[in-house]
Amino acid sequence: MQLDFTLSFTETQWICFDDSIEILADSLEELDTSIEKHLRQKYQTGTFRIKMFFDFDRFPKWYRQYMPHYFNRDFTYNLN
């Protein structure tokens, strides 16, 4: 199953959201852990392709030297 999220940033936290959920975290690693926890609570088993597309309107100023598509993320969780 593929799940598409928007990845954004406030002044202090990363945000991953779609129409049904919003997850906030201090780091991308913490965000990944929270997404996996959410999937384990919602589904017992399955393989999930997670795609995150960065919201350029909230692109952190200190990352402006990089292209925003560098922050698009694509990975898979296997809950078996």
Chunked into runs of 10 residues, the chain (80 residues) has average pLDDT values of 91 91 94 92 92 80 62 86
Put residue 76 in one of left, alpha, beta given phi > 0 → left and psi -120 to 50 → alpha: beta
**Whole-model pTM?**
0.78
pLDDT of residue 55: 84
Could you tell me the residue range of the domain that residue 37 belongs to?
A: 2-78
- Phi, psi for residue 61 in degrees, rounded to 5: -60, -35
pLDDT of residue 12: 87
**Structural domain count, the chain:** 1
Strand arrangement of the beta sheet that strand 46-54 belongs to: 22-25, 14-17, 2-9, 46-54, 73-79
Neighbours of 16 (CB within 10 A): 22
pLDDT of residue 59: 67
pLDDT of residue 64: 61
pLDDT of residue 34: 95
